[in-house]
C-alpha cells in the first residue's frame, strides 16, 4: 500500500501537469501541498488523540485519508515535523517513515 500510494502520488502529479500544460493553474502545487500537509496533520492528531503509539504503514488509511494518492512521504515528513516541533508527538520525522512508530507526547 505504501509503494502504491507513492507511485500514485507521482503519477497523479505528472498527469495534472500534463493536463494543465500551457494553462493558467488556478490551483498551484504549493497550495495543493499545503492542503495535503494540513490534512495529514489533522489525521495524525486524530490518531495521537487516542493516546497510544501507532506504526504509519499499519494505519495508512487513517494517516493519509483523503490525501492518499496525492500526498506522499515528503508531505508526511513535513506534517510529522510540525507536530513534533509543536510538542504533540515524541516522534520526529528522521529516517524512513513507512515503519515509523509514532508516539503521543
Q: Which helix (H) or strand (E) holds 102?
A: strand 101-102
Q: Report pLDDT digits (tens) over 16-35.
A: 777 777 666 667 778 889 99
pLDDT band at 14 (very low <50, low <70, confident <90, very high): confident
Q: What is the pLDDT of residue 16?
A: 78
- Domain coverage including residue 93: 2-20+30-102
Closest by CA to 64, choosing from 86, 43, 92, is 43
Look up residue 3 and give its three cell numbers: 509503494
Confirm whether 25 is domain-assigned. Answer: no
Whether residue 35 lies inside any domain: the answer is yes
Res 25: pLDDT? 63
Q: Give a yes or no: residue 82 inside a domain.
A: yes
pLDDT at 77: 98
Residue 17 exposed, middle or buried by CB count within 10 Å (0-12, 13-18, 19+): exposed
Q: How many domains does the chain have?
A: 1
What is d(CA 68, CA 22) in angstroms, rounded to the nearest whole number?
A: 27
**Residue 56 counted as domain residue:** yes
Q: What is the pLDDT of residues 31-60, one digit of tens each?
A: 889 999 999 999 999 999 999 999 999 999
Amino acid at each position: 500500500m505504501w509503494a502504491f500510494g507513492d507511485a500514485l502520488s507521482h503519477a497523479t502529479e505528472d498527469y495534472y501537469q500534463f493536463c494543465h500544460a500551457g494553462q493558467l493553474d488556478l490551483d498551484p502545487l504549493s497550495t495543493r501541498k499545503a492542503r495535503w500537509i494540513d490534512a495529514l496533520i489533522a489525521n495524525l492528531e486524530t490518531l495521537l488523540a487516542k493516546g497510544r503509539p501507532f506504526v504509519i504503514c499499519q494505519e495508512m488509511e487513517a494517516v493519509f485519508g483523503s490525501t492518499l494518492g496525492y500526498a506522499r512521504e515528503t508531505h508526511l515528513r513535513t506534517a510529522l515535523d510540525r507536530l513534533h516541533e509543536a510538542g504533540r508527538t515524541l516522534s520526529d520525522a528522521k529516517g524512513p517513515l513507512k515503519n515509523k512508530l509514532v508516539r503521543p507526547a
